[in-house]
């Protein structure tokens, strides 16, 4: 039988391993952000659909480990895999403003700096 508390711990281990926030993890597995919040708080138990979405988004995660804690993660036989990033999980989009094309893009870094890109 699935132990929800242990499943939550393993889910948190995935978030830490892949360096994902709960919101980015929800986006990666295509569920509502509230679903992750409710699961991590213990309010809801994981559904089969939820578990399968994790496995589809992260096929390197073994189901026996995810469900029952059997085996290890990451598996020792695997090469070190690259952590997913929020940028990898989002589909590229193109947006136009009222007058046509984007005027500039500003990227904010965690250290408080930013960089502006504009068409010249």
Domain boundaries, the chain: 4-88
What pLDDT does residue 78 have? 46
Look at the chain and count its residues: 120
Reported pTM: 0.61
Helix axes 33-40, 22-29, angle to 10 degrees: 120
Q: Are 17 and 75 in contact (CB under 8 A)?
A: no
Which pLDDT belongs to residue 111?
Answer: 82
Fold that domain 4-88 belongs to in CATH: 434 Repressor (Amino-terminal Domain) (1.10.260)
53 alpha-carbon distance from chain centroid: 11
Count other C-beta atoms under 10 Å from residue 25's C-beta. 24
Asked whether the beta carbons of 62 and 71 are under 8 A apart, the reply is yes
- For the chain (120 residues), the mean pLDDT of every run of 10, in chain order, is 86 92 92 93 92 92 91 62 52 58 79 79
């Amino acid at each position: 039988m699935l132990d929800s508390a242990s499943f939550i711990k393993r889910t948190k281990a995935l978030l830490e391993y892949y360096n994902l926030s709960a919101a980015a993890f929800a986006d990666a597995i295509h569920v509502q952000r509230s679903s992750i919040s409710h699961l991590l708080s213990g309010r809801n138990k994981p559904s089969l659909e939820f578990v399968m979405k994790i496995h589809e988004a992260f096929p390197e995660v073994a189901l026996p480990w995810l469900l029952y804690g059997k085996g290890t993660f990451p598996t020792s036989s695997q090469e070190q895999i690259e952590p997913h990033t929020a940028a990898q999980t989002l589909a590229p989009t193109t947006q136009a403003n009222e007058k046509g094309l984007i005027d500039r893009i500003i990227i904010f870094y965690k250290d408080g700096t930013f960089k502006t890109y504009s068409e010249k």
